[in-house]
Amino acid sequence: MIKLLIVDDSALMRRQLKTIFQAEGDFVIEVARNGEEAVELNKRFEPDIITLDINMPQMDGLTALSLLMAERPVPVVMVSSLTEKGAISTFEALNLGAVDYIPKPDGTISLSITEIEEEIIAKVRAAAGAHLKKSRGLAARIRGDLSVSKVTGAAPPKRSTLRVEQGARNDGLVIIGVSTGGPRTLEDILPQLPGDFPWPVLVAQHMPPSFTRPFAERINQLCALDVFELQRPMPLEPGKICIGRGGADMVVMRRANRLMVSTRPESVQHLWHPSVELLGESVLQHCEPQRVIGVLLTGMGYDGAEAFAELKRRGARTIAESEQTAVVFGMPAELIKRGGATKVLPMERVAEQIMQWVNAG
């Protein structure tokens, strides 16, 4: 049995979520109306997984999350509104240690939660077995050196110690696929790439439409490279990190013998969006595999595994994040199972390996 704590100030949301998980038959459920009750029940009920609303009276979700992680760390899935403000709060929650988030389709009180019932169940089940990552600066926040309410936005930029060697070619491409646990993981990997990194980087991170622009802006604050959300067709440019837009897919194409990256409406043939598999298929069609590096990071499911495995078979170099650091060892595990991983590496060694391959030509 999985012990689940549902935390929401809305009686309707508590009832809806409880009904969904009671129907599964293998959940023991407790509910809390606010952050204070959540902190107490985390110690008394000892849940395996918590769903936590962000906007609550008495104690908001971010404050509660920081206390939960300090007193008894547990996998947490945030319940977030589909707004840019909700996105920013969600990224801060992920930075504090939350595993994933559930978007409310109708805002604060969702009357159509059943529309995403399968997604909610899948995310909570995946998070229940997730690998927790320590939050940067959490101890300082809890001690009171910094208030949680003041710790918003991205962390200060990191200075990369990696260097591009003279003579490194600039005709390659890096593609990255990631899902659950991705924002925190990308915040650790992408800032390690130096400012003179010579290849374009395309990132397919599963996210809803209103989240990808603030996420790209957040990552841009951390990186020496320019980071942006893909809005329209554009040439692949060295040293640019392009985040696929939520609510669409991202593909590579060739126009007038020039490689471009573009958005397209979500493909009904693929379950997750922006689709990693579709990105990989387009790279197979238009790029020389020997000049491609594919990286498959944390995430549930198998998105991208087959396309990345085929890229490796045709000469590309690929990295699967290891179980040691993956929040959810789903997507990288599927790549490994298909024999598609040139290297299996923990998160902290991914950027270094990319640089080694780029410098090797």
Q: Which residue has the tokens 């689709």?
A: 275
Instruction: Give the percent of the chain with pLDDT over 70.
Output: 91
Res 136: pLDDT:
47
185 Cβ neighbours under 8 A, 6+ residues apart: 178, 297, 298, 321, 325, 327, 347
- Which candidate in 206, 210, 273, 322 is catalytic? 206
| Known catalytic membership, residue 322 | no
The token duo for 248 is 């669409």
pLDDT class of 111 with cuts at 50, 70, 90? low
Phi then psi dihedrals of residue 340, to 5 deg: -100, 10
Mean pLDDT computed over 32-60: 95
Q: Which of 90-99, 162-171, 263-272 has the lowest mean pLDDT?
A: 162-171
| Known catalytic membership, residue 179 | yes
Name the CATH superfamily housing domain 173-360. Answer: Methylesterase CheB, C-terminal domain (3.40.50.180)
Residue 168, pLDDT above cutoff 50: yes
Residues of the chain with CATH 3.40.50.180: 173-360
Contact 267, 243 (CB under 8 A): no
Q: Longest Cα pair distance anywhere in the chain, in angstroms?
A: 65
E strands, the chain, are 2-7, 27-32, 49-53, 76-81, 100-104, 173-178, 201-205, 226-229, 234-235, 240-243, 248-255, 258-265, 292-296, 317-321, 343-345
Higher pLDDT: 33 or 158? It is 33
pLDDT class of 116 with cuts at 50, 70, 90? confident
> What H or E segment, with its residue span, contains residue 95?
helix 84-96
CB-based burial label for 198 (10 Å; 0-12, 13-18, 19+): middle
pLDDT class of 134 with cuts at 50, 70, 90? low
Q: Tell which residue, 226, 18, 15, has the closest CA to residue 121.
A: 18
Instruction: Give the percent of the chain with pLDDT over 90.
Output: 75
Q: Tell which residue, 114, 207, 193, has the closest CA to residue 161.
A: 193
The token duo for 121 is 């169940």
The token duo for 232 is 């329209």
The token duo for 188 is 């650790």
Res 14: pLDDT:
93
Q: What is the DSSP letter of 164?
A: P
- Single-letter amino acid code for the residue at 175: I
pLDDT class of 106 with cuts at 50, 70, 90? low
Residue 143, pLDDT above cutoff 60: no
The token duo for 242 is 């392009």
Angle (nearest 5°) at CA 232 between 226 and 233: 90
- Which candidate in 53, 60, 100, 303 is catalytic? 303
Res 166: pLDDT:
83
Mean pLDDT computed over 69-88: 89
Residue 110, pLDDT above cutoff 60: no
| Known catalytic membership, residue 206 | yes
Q: Tell which residue, 4, 45, 52, 44, has the closest CA to residue 24.
A: 4
Residue 149, pLDDT above cutoff 50: no
Residues of the chain with CATH 3.40.50.2300: 2-150
- Which candidate in 66, 89, 135, 179 is catalytic? 179
Res 18: pLDDT:
95
Mean pLDDT computed over 305-329: 97
* Cα-trace Rg, the chain: 20
Res 158: pLDDT:
54
| pLDDT tens digits along 254-311 | 998 899 999 999 988 999 999 999 999 999 999 999 999 999 999 999 999 999 999 9
Q: How many CB atoms within 10 Å of residue 201? A: 24
pLDDT class of 238 with cuts at 50, 70, 90? very high
Res 147: pLDDT:
42
Contact 186, 205 (CB under 8 A): yes
pTM for the model: 0.90
Q: What is the DSSP letter of 162?
A: -
Mean pLDDT of the chain: 90
The architecture CATH gives domain 2-150: 3-Layer(aba) Sandwich (3.40)
Res 159: pLDDT:
59
Contact 199, 225 (CB under 8 A): no
Mean pLDDT computed over 350-358: 97
